[in-house]
Amino acid sequence: MKTHSFFNKYKNIFILFILMNIIYTIVGVTAFLLLPHDQIFGQLTTTPITILDVFTRWDGMHYNSIAIDGYGVYNENNIAFFPLYPFIMRILYKLTGVMPVYWGLIVSRLSYLASMILLYDLTSLDYDEETSYTTVLYMTVFPASFYFISLYTEALFLLFILLSFTCFRKERYLCGAFFAMLSTALRSVGIFMIPVLLSEYLLKNKWEIKSLWKKIREDAKTGVAISLKPVFSLLIIPLGLLMFMFYCGLREGNILAFSSAQKAYMRFLKFPTVSLWVTAKNSVGFLWSVFKTFFIENAHIDSSLDLKLGFAFIKELLFGTFFTGIIVMMFKKVRPSYWLYTILMFIVPFSTAVGDEGLSGMPRYVLILFPVFVFMASMRKCKKFNYTYLSLSIVLGIVLMSLFSCWHWVA
């Protein structure tokens, strides 16, 4: 009976998850068979099974190679990729003999299914059932959501983040800190969960710092620091990152080798407005070139007009500015810990530029910003916004998945 009630409760989520997988698979395979591939990478494959191979592009190749051969074999700079995801793939491979690429896809897909359920339950703590389901729907139809079911870390990272929040909301502080620690073994930005979870703890105590300080002084007299246990639990969060740093120090002689390796991929930190400005300038320059070519020179597209690069500029600008606007609108309209999480997780990719091209990868990096989808779901009663978001997301999702499956850079 319990199993039956569980499936009834989350029936719509299971249906949504199945539809998501079917649609992205059909789009990816169709595009792979019919559209031109990237001339440099287009012949690379991770698995001969096409319906799975289309989900293993770009970073997926690195994770698969790390799982099979370790760091530095497939690419000397793949130390830039954090170890937990390929480590899980390798362990499962050793236990079963099934190739890591398949385990990676299974882990990602099960992680996202679990994330959908957790996001629904977490949102239900503050909103009604319809808003909770709409939150999951908005995240699932987001144009870059295929990364959740690809050979990428997005789904697993999101799962650990949602588990951290859920545990802290239910006052299971050590458990929440443990999942946050695991997130730091997937991405360095997991370290931001320290201030985020601290703010959640303070919110649970209604920000009564004086009252908390009084409890601490009382604990000091008895010698039992009960009130500080939640705060002390946060100290384990950096362990995932610190262990990777220790490994980098042993292997590369540089504890920040994972950060230094980013330079090989032309990724550099810049002031946020600089990255946005460069992207905007490049987008305007591209649009002017198109306008001049067609309407002033009355000419056809030539090799000097890089349509792929121009599309990338506009894509990054649109996603970057849209999420910037949403984050500003969210202020004081979602839980303070949610808003802090969003701004901290957004600021790093928003401050990262690829060479002189500005922002890169924004559609993928914003996937983990679940509070944004919670906020947008709270606006679902605005039918124009609802229909516009859903229709644009579906169309863009088909376009981006088609490009991704053919080895064209998306995010």
Instruction: Identify whether 48 is part of a domain.
Output: yes
- Asked if residue 311 is part of any domain, the answer here is no
Q: Which among 293, 297, 324, 296 is positioned nearest to 310, based on CA atoms?
A: 293
Specify the 3-state DSSP secondary structure of 268: strand
- Number of alpha helices (DSSP H) and beta strands (DSSP E) in the chain: 20, 2
- Structural domain including 1 reads 1-152
For the record, the structure tokens of 381 come out as 């009663």
Give the dihedral sign, CA 200/205/206/209.
negative
Q: pLDDT value at position 290?
A: 76
What is the tens place of the pLDDT at every residue in 59-68? Answer: 999 999 999 9
**3-state per-residue secondary structure call for the chain:** CHHHHHHHHCHHHHHHHHHHHHHHHHHHHHHHHHCCCCCCCCCCCCCCCHHHHCCCCCHHHHHHHHHHHCCCCCCCCHHHCCCHHHHHHHHHHHHHCCCHHHHHHHHHHHHHHHHHHHHHHHHHCCCCHHHHHHHHHHHHHCCCHHHHHCCCCHHHHHHHHHHHHHHHHCCCHHHHHHHHHHHHCCCHHHHHHHHHHHHHHHHHCCCCHHHHHHHHHHHHHHCCCCCCHHHHHHHHCCHHHHHHHHHHHHHHCCCCHHHHHHHHHCEEECCHHHHHHHHHHHHHHHHHHHHHHHHHCCCCCCCCCCHHHHHHHHHHHHHHHHHHHHHHHHCCCCCHHHHHHHHHHHHHHHCEEECCCCCCCHHHHHHHCHHHHHHHHCCCCCHHHHHHHHHHHHHHHHHHHHHHHCCCCCC
Token readout for 10 is: 């989350």
Query: What integer is the mean pLDDT of 127-144?
Result: 96
Number of neighbouring beta carbons within 10 Å of residue 332: 7
What single letter denotes the amino acid at residue 302? D
Q: What is the pLDDT of residue 235?
A: 92
Asked whether residue 187 is assigned to any structural domain, the reply reads no
pLDDT of residue 214: 61
| Domains identified in the chain, total number | 1
* Mean pLDDT on 261-289: 80
Asked whether residue 218 carries a pLDDT value surpassing 70, the answer given is no
Q: 285-321, pLDDT tens digit by residue?
A: 888 777 777 767 655 555 445 677 788 888 989 999 9
Greater confidence (225 vs 234) lies with 234
Instruction: Name beta bridge partners: 268.
Output: 353
| Residue 153 φ then ψ, to 5° | -90, -5
- Give yes or no for residue 390 having a pLDDT over 80: yes
- The answer on pLDDT for 221 being more than 90 is no
Is 203 within a domain?
no
Can you tell me which residue has the tokens 């969003």?
Answer: 342
Distance in angstroms (rounded) separating the CA atoms of residues 274 and 278: 6
In a domain, 112, yes or no: yes
Instruction: Indicate whether 258 belongs to any domain.
Output: no
Q: Report which DSSP code applies to 352.
A: E
Cβ count near 154 (within 10 Å):
25
d(CA 386, CA 141): 12
pLDDT above 70 as % of the chain: 88
Q: For residues 86 and 219, give the distance between their C-alpha atoms in angstroms, rounded to a whole number.
A: 43
Predicted local confidence at residue 271, as pLDDT: 75
Span of 156-160, 241-245, 273-277 with lowest mean pLDDT: 273-277
Angle at 347 between CA 341 and CA 352, to 5 degrees: 145
Confidence of residue 399 (pLDDT cuts 50, 70, 90): very high
Does residue 408 form part of some domain?
no
Per-residue confidence band for 203, with pLDDT thresholds at 50, 70 and 90: confident
pLDDT over 60 (residue 143): yes
Closest to 139 in 3D by CA, of 83, 250, 122: 122
In a domain, 225, yes or no: no
210 confidence band (pLDDT: 50, 70, 90): low
**pLDDT tens digit string along 36-64?**
888 667 567 777 788 999 999 999 999 99
pLDDT at 209 over 70: no
CB neighbours (10 Å) of residue 215? 16
pLDDT of the residue at 301: 54
